[in-house]
Amino acid sequence: MLDEFLHTLEHGPQYWAYALVAASAGVEYIFPPLPGDTVALFAVALAVRAQLHWVFVYVAMTLGALLGGLAAWGFGVWLANHEDSWPAFLKTPTAMRALDAVRRGYDQHGAMYLAVNRFLPALRAFFFVGAGLSRMNAGPVIVFGGISAALWNALLMSIGYAVGNNWEVLRDLAERYAAATLFLIVVAVAGIVARFVYDTRRS
């Protein structure tokens, strides 16, 4: 089945292959639990087999990541404009203090947050949602989000092209990525809970 898929990829229309790469890079901004990098890494390895042009693969990955980030940013802007519709637990004093802290953080370090977002798996979408909640303009979001995506995708493509046809190495990399992502999620959740408990005790 894999050989048939590769044959289709090599001899059929290739535009859909670039669209798949772009979608894999952007989907985790819309559905954060999905491992976008694992899919993208696999797509790059397939691109090596199918001899897709690396420039188009790189552009597709970068544009996909940027469009996904902008979708998450737009969701954050929508939330900022509809605070009256938020559930009650987001309107508590503790939640509002946390939101104020996020906004102050983006006022001071928003560019840096977006520049590093792509290097933090599973948490990337939240950086753009935070930018939207803080009403950060689209220009800096595009520039710094684009820089982050360009740098990360260059690294990801280097790995994919180095792996090439070695599926066992690719599978090992995917498993390591999944483990690292899970660890980051656990650390992030623990930090949020600890901050919430601390703020609750102070109030």
DSSP state of 182: H
Range of the domain at 55: 2-202
Check pLDDT > 60 for residue 4: no
Strand ranges, E, within 131-197: none
Exposure on the CB side of residue 189, measured as CA atoms within 13 A: 7
Q: What domain count does the chain have? A: 1
In the predicted model, is pLDDT for residue 26 greater than 80? yes
The mean pLDDT of the chain is 78
Write the Ramachandran bin of 51: left for phi over 0, alpha for psi from -120 to 50, otherwise beta: left
Amino acid identity, position 168: E
Question: In this model, does residue 7 exceed pLDDT 70?
Answer: no
Rounded CA-CA distance 74/72 in Å is 5
| Percent of the chain at pLDDT exceeding 70 | 69
